[in-house]
Chain A
Amino acid sequence: MSDLPVLEPSTEPTTTTTAIVTARRRIGWRLIVPAALLILIVAASIFAPVIAPYAPNAQDLASRLLPPFWQPGGSIAHILGTDDLGRDVLTRILYGSQVSLSVGAIAVVCRLVVGVLIGLIAGYYAGPIRTFFMRLGDVQLALPSLVLAIGIIAALGPSLANVILVLAIAGWVLYARLVVSEVIVVRQQEYVASARLLGASHLWIMFRHVLPNIMPTIIVFASLDFGMMMLTEGSLSFLGLGVQPPQPSWGGMAAEGRALIGTAWWIATLPGAALVVTVALVNILGEQLRDKLDPRLDTTRSN
């Protein structure tokens, strides 16, 4: 897999474009398989109301705590069993995927946009602006994001919107730092000086010259961040700080089933397993993207 040209950690702005061209030529099954599976999951999530055999909150007290169909006592009517209120686990997993995927995606977009904008400004203009944002970032990085989340959600109250807000607030720093260090390098390139001499405005240079150069790095980082966001959303919902019951979410379902783990293992473990599979696919895809687009970010291939 390492027959890609090994790129030096060089500041040549052309290396990333070369990498993209190389990537187009070699899109192998390592990229296609996880991408296809992920598309399948996204499709199942979007079409949950069509595919799901039941309504997400439909209770059927006559068929409470049914095990998955392959276990004795299970039935094909509830493939993955039912919970203590007789709700279909498969249905709730399908609907729960909507929360994980949408919160993950919206959170990443918010973090990315805010972080990249701040990063471009702070990287482009040295001086007090950069110092302010970087020091603010240091303060935030000292607070673990789940701890900051607890503080903010304690103040604002638990809800889906607040989870997204918290994730955006806690995460812009990571993108901004990434962008600042890249912008500082790109800014010193001769072509930026030439563009300036030719009369280009600062804004034009930022968005036309600097941003396209750092885009591959940002995309790779965001794809890995997406998995992280889904995990964090799951944790917050598990802690009761995110999606509120009875709306199904993978973390919330795990919390509800936690007490019944000795008698009905499927309620708590299956939603979590869905999260594991989804995040693993996202991470595999992210790693593949990194190999193709931005080998400089790779920590495992530093040889």
Chain B
Amino acid sequence: MTRRILNRLAYSILVILGISAITFLLVYLAGDPAVLIAGEDATPAEVQQIREANGYDRPIFVQYFDWLWHAVQGDLGTSYRSGRPALELILGALPRTLLLIVTALVLASLIGIVVGVVAAVYRGSAFDRFVIAGSVFVQSLPTFWLGIVLILIFSATLRLLPTSGFRGPEYLVLPAVALAVFQVGTFSRIVRSSMIEVLDSDFVRTARAKGASSASIVFGHALRNAALPIITVIGLELGGLFGGAIVTETVFGWPGISALALSAIQSRDMAVVQAFVLVVGVLVVITNLVIDVVYARLDPRIRVGAH
């Protein structure tokens, strides 16, 4: 068990190193960084001076390790537009993005579990077929369109909820719903199929034969076992949620990390873009590591098996 966790930890560090290399290389993808800083009408001598002053004339591996060394210490460069450290900017906006993502995740899992369990218990019923068809439809909905339609209905027409910004809990409702809807389709499908698998298993049949009530079978036996795949899916869907959050934040003017990253693109403020990519990547890796450890704790087959 400990061995497994250590293995996963080492592996996660490798993945984070890989992400850091991609992040670092983004600057070179943008072109010669010295030219980018100097501006287009700089003389070759000026460019050369900037290149040497910033160390861009060193071998790329040396530059990477230098960058990495600073990154580990929390220095991802300075946003040349605002003059503030890039990491500080991103971390400052991160809590609002996380609030949005976690709310959407909770919403999507709750609805997904209820819908999936009911569909699995009444397998083959009209409701079950509706859930399958609905999940296909829900996954055809672009988040930006859903957001706009929600604004049209609940803000512009019914005037129930605010359209954009974040000045109180009511501002969270529409963005969280817009972000959650896509995931509801995924969650209800996974819950449904893993519930069906467990409901068909021998131990549930035994419990039924021993006279356990339907409710105790569904909630006491089946859902507990079906919970494991659900936890894994949360980890797999986290990346999708971050992607969806970028769109959602833009639709609803949500003051999260996406607004920072998108305006950094306009001004080619690469340090902020790098900080954005690295922070999201590291968060996804760490969350998956945690989920893996939790999974191992929860699943006796792994917990006992690895002794």
A136 vs B280: C-alpha distance when bound (angstroms): 17
Interface mask (A252-271 → B, CB under 8 Å = 1, otherwise 0): 00110110011001001100
Verify A302–B18 contact, CB threshold 8 A.
no
B135 cross-chain contacts in A, Cβ below 8 A: 300
Out of B15, B190, B274, which one reaches A299, CB within 8 Å?
Answer: B190
Q: Report B266-284 CB contacts with A as 1/0, cut-off 8 Å.
A: 0010100110110011001
Of the listed stretches A53-61, A103-111, A147-155, chain B binds: A147-155
A77 within 8 A of B: no
Contact B145 A155, beta carbon cutoff 8 Å:
no
Interface residues of B in 22-76 (CB under 8 A from A): 22-23, 26-27, 29-31
Q: Could you tell me the distance between the alpha carbons of A279 and B182 in the complex, rounded to whole angstroms?
A: 13
Contacts of A287 in B (CB 8 A): 136
Pairs of residues from A and B, 9 with the lowest C-beta to C-beta distance, nearest first:
A272-B145, A139-B18, A146-B243, A155-B30, A144-B239, A280-B140, A155-B29, A279-B140, A154-B273
With the chains together, A151 CA to B200 CA distance in Å? 46
| Chain B interface main SS type | helix
CB distance from B189 to the nearest CB of A (A): 6
Which chain A positions have C-beta within 8 A of B149? Answer: 269, 272
Using A142-B281, A144-B284 as known contacts, say yes or no to A135 and B148 having CB atoms under 8 A apart.
no
**Structural contact, B189 and A302, CB atoms closer than 8 A:** no
Looking across the interface, which residue of chain A has its beta carbon closest to that of B257?
A: A147
- A2–B123 Cα distance when bound, in Å, is 13
Q: State the CA gap A150–B92 with chains docked (Å).
A: 19
Contact present for B145 and A239 (CB under 8 Å): no
- Contact partners of B31 in chain A: CB under 8 A: 155
User: What are 28 sample pairs from A and B whose C-beta atoms fall under 8 A apart?
Assistant: A138-B15, A139-B18, A139-B19, A142-B285, A142-B288, A144-B240, A144-B242, A145-B243, A148-B22, A151-B277, A154-B261, A154-B264, A155-B29, A156-B29, A235-B243, A241-B265, A251-B142, A262-B155, A269-B148, A272-B144, A276-B140, A276-B141, A280-B136, A280-B137, A283-B136, A283-B139, A287-B136, A300-B193
Question: A143 vs B193: C-alpha distance in the bound complex, in angstroms?
Answer: 27
A150 touches B152 (CB 8 A): no
Question: What's the tally of chain A residues with a CB closer than 8 Å to chain B?
Answer: 52
Give A273 to B152 CA distance when docked, in angstroms: 14
Query: Cα distance A155–B24 when bound, in Å?
Result: 11
The reply to whether B145 and A273 form a contact with Cβ atoms under 8 Å apart is yes
Within 8 Å by CB of B247, from A143, A148, A154, A239, lies: A239
Considering the chains assembled together, what is the distance between the CA atoms of A140 and B274 in angstroms?
15
A144–B239 alpha-carbon span in the complex (Å): 5
Q: Tell whether, in the assembled complex, residue A152 and residue B196 are in contact, meaning their CB atoms are under 8 Å apart.
A: no
A92 to B29, CA, bound (A): 34
Residues of B within 8 A of A269 (CB): 145, 148-149, 152
Most buried by A among B240, B243, B276: B243
Q: Specify which chain B residues have a CB less than 8 angstroms from the CB of A155 in the assembled complex.
A: 26-27, 29-31, 270, 273
Alpha-carbon distance A258/B23, docked complex (angstroms): 32
Output the least CB separation between A80 and chain B (Å). Answer: 16
Of chain A, the residue at the smallest CB distance from B242 is A144
Known: A144-B280, A268-B148, A276-B145. 14 other contacts (CB 8 A): A142-B285, A143-B22, A154-B264, A154-B265, A155-B30, A155-B270, A155-B273, A239-B262, A251-B142, A251-B144, A272-B144, A280-B140, A284-B136, A300-B135
Min CB distance, B56 to chain A, in Å? 15
Q: Are B156 and A147 in contact (CB under 8 A)?
A: no
Enumerate A264-303 residues with CB–CB distance to B below 8 Å. Answer: 265, 268-269, 272-273, 275-276, 279-280, 282-284, 287, 299-300, 302-303
Interface residue range, chain B = 35 or more
- Cα of A283 to Cα of B185 in the assembled complex, Å: 13
Query: Contact at B26–A147, with CB atoms within 8 Å?
Result: no
Nearest Cβ in chain A — how far from B205, in angstroms? Answer: 14
A155 vs B250: C-alpha distance in the bound complex, in angstroms? 20
Interface centre among B29, B31, B246, B264 (most CB of A within 10 A): B246
Q: Which residues of A contact B262 (CB under 8 A)?
A: 150, 239-240
User: Chain B residues with Cβ under 8 A from A7's Cβ?
Assistant: none
Beta-carbon contact of A254 and B144 below 8 Å: yes
Whether B197 is near chain A, meaning CB under 8 Å from some CB there, is yes
Contact B151 A261 (CB under 8 A): yes
Contact of B142 among A138, A141, A279 (CB under 8 A): A279
Distance to closest chain A CB from B296 (angstroms) = 19
Contact of A303 with B200 in the complex, beta carbons under 8 Å: yes
Judging by beta carbons under 8 Å apart, are B242 and A142 in contact?
A: no
- B-facing mask of A141-182, CB < 8 A → 1, else 0? 111111110111111101000000000000000000000000
List chain A residues, Cβ under 8 A from B161. none
| A-side contacts of B288, CB under 8 Å | 142
Q: Residue A68 at the B interface, CB < 8 A? A: no
Which residue of A is nearest B123, CB measured? A303
Q: Kindly provide the distance from the CB of B273 to the nearest chain A CB, expressed in whole angstroms.
A: 4
Closest Cβ neighbor of B147 among chain A residues: A258
Which residues of A lie under 8 Å from residue B285 when comparing CB positions?
142
Is A299 in contact with B277, judged by CB distance below 8 angstroms? no
- Provide the bound-state CA to CA distance between A240 and B137, in Å: 26
Are A234 and B246 closer than 8 Å at their CB atoms? no
Please name all residues of chain B whose beta carbon is closer than 8 Å to the beta carbon of A112 when the two chains form the complex: none
B 118-168 contacts with A by CB, 8 A: 123, 132, 135-137, 139-145, 148-149, 151-152, 155-156
